[in-house]
């Protein structure tokens, strides 16, 4: 990685770190650490305390590559002061991004509603769903053609056939379409059909897939992993953007905790945290987070109020016949009602 100037993100690898020495670190050990730092062309600032000595490292941390200070004698631990993600970092791109996707944009000013069935089960159910969610006010049709399933014996999706139905639904309604991709093979096919790709929670750290999505240039919705920290999530986004694709929208979909009355715990505070750390838009998926139909409306309102850029909601013509995730899917009528109840919150949030 070269360091070619202030416009170059690589130049922003000039990360500072703090080395905390052990209480009993010898003068020699401390001296060895500072020498090592200086031998790489960096500066070392010493703070000798009553209990511990601290060494501040100033300059491009990349220069320390291979000089694993963390394992040097007398070193207790190392703190990285700055984040490892750069291109998605608000610090270097203070203005909130507006992401173009299909015939619309996602981000400031808009509140994007993506709705549809968990899985595309057949032609008719998808087309009906598209009509219904369009009428209620959604601008994106969601629908799974490739389903990542815990058990190999569960329904795995209609694949390309499903994508064709999606395309037909777009033509019939004018909705934009978004589909999850779970492999390079799926990606290759999906880019021929969709307006926006989706990376699901289980693939948030499938780095190979992230890189290829980055190369594709197609707008992408990146869901948070079930146990991903916000920093790991932003680093996953960095994989995509560093391959040249800045059209990323994040999606909070619940994290894994010990609580069992909801499937996962929706972390709505992630919205203001992302707002503080990144310029990327962030939407919320209350359907997967809770797994319970009755909680979708209150949490969608909360998503609008907390400042999210939209929601993704599961809707099904007949939830009691759904092949997956029926209990969390809204009927067409329930979705329509929810959208009407949600509208004033969206307006109040200055999003319509």
Tokens of 105: 């944009």
Instruction: Tell me which residues in 285-314 interact with its own copies (CB under 8 A).
Output: 286, 289-290, 294-295, 298-299, 301-307
DSSP 8-state secondary structure symbol assigned to residue 338: H
Compute the chain's Rg from CA coordinates. Answer: 23
Tokens of 109: 């000013």
Q: Please, which residue, 108 or 344, has the CB nearer to its own copies?
A: 344
Among 29, 34, 46, 93, binds its own copies (CB under 8 A): 46
DSSP 8-state secondary structure symbol assigned to residue 40: T
Among 183, 189, 246, 351, binds its own copies (CB under 8 A): 183
Whether the CB-CB separation of 83 and 75 falls below 8 Å is answered with no
Site string for its own copies, 56-85 (x = CB under 8 A): xxxxx-x--xxxxxxxxx-----x-xx-xx
Instruction: Tell me which residues in 1-40 interact with its own copies (CB under 8 A).
Output: 1, 10, 13-16, 18, 20, 23
Q: Please, which residue, 70 or 333, has the CB nearer to its own copies?
A: 70
Q: Please, which residue, 119 or 218, has the CB nearer to its own copies?
A: 119
The kind and range of the H/E element at 250 are: strand 248-252
Region binding its own copies by CB under 8 A among candidate stretches 98-106, 132-140, 171-179, 181-189: 181-189
In order, the DSSP letters of 260-276 are -SSSSB--TTHHHHHHH
Q: Please, which residue, 193 or 345, has the CB nearer to its own copies?
A: 345
Residue 105 CB, nearest approach to its own copies (Å): 22
Q: For residue 272, how many other CB atoms are within 10 A of its CB? A: 13
Q: For residue 33, how many other CB atoms are within 10 A of its CB? A: 24
Q: Please, which residue, 118 or 175, has the CB nearer to its own copies?
A: 118
Residue 91 CB, nearest approach to its own copies (Å): 6
Q: Does 137 bind its own copies (CB under 8 A)?
A: no
Cβ-based neighbours of 184, under 8 Å, separated by 6 or more: 208, 209, 212
């Amino acid at each position: 990685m070269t360091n070619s100037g202030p416009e170059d993100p690589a130049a922003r690898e000039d990360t500072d770190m703090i080395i905390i020495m052990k209480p009993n670190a010898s003068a020699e050990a401390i001296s060895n650490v500072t020498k090592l730092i200086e031998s790489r062309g960096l500066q070392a600032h010493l703070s000798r305390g009553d209990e511990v000595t601290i060494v501040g490292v100033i300059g491009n941390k990349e220069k320390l590559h291979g000089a694993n200070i963390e394992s040097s004698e007398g070193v207790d631990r190392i703190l990285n002061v700055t984040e490892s993600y750069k291109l998605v970092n608000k610090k270097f791109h203070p203005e909130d991004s507006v992401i173009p996707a299909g015939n619309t944009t996602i981000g400031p000013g808009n509140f994007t509603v993506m709705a549809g069935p968990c899985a595309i089960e057949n032609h008719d159910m998808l087309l009906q769903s598209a009509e219904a969610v369009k009428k209620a006010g959604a601008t994106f049709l969601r629908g799974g053609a490739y389903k990542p399933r815990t058990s190999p014996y569960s329904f795995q999706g209609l694949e390309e056939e499903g994508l064709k139905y999606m395309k037909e639904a777009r033509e019939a309604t004018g909705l934009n379409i978004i589909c999850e991709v779970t492999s390079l093979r799926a990606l290759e096919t999906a880019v021929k059909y969709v307006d926006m790709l989706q990376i699901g929670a289980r693939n948030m750290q499938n780095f190979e897939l992230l890189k290829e999505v980055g190369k594709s240039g197609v707008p992408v919705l990146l869901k948070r992993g079930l146990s991903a920290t916000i920093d790991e999530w932003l680093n996953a986004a960095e994989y995509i953007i560093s391959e040249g694709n800045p059209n990323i929208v994040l999606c909070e979909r619940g994290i894994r905790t010990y609580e069992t009355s909801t499937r996962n715990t929706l972390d709505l505070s992630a919205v203001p945290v992302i707002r503080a750390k990144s310029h990327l838009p962030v939407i919320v998926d209350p359907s997967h987070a809770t797994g319970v139909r009755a909680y979708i409306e209150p949490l969608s309102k909360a998503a609008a109020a907390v400042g999210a850029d939209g929601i993704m909601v599961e809707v099904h013509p007949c939830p009691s016949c759904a092949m997956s995730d029926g209990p969390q899917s809204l009927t067409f009528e329930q979705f329509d009602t929810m959208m009407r109840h949600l509208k004033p919150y969206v307006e109040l949030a200055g999003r319509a």
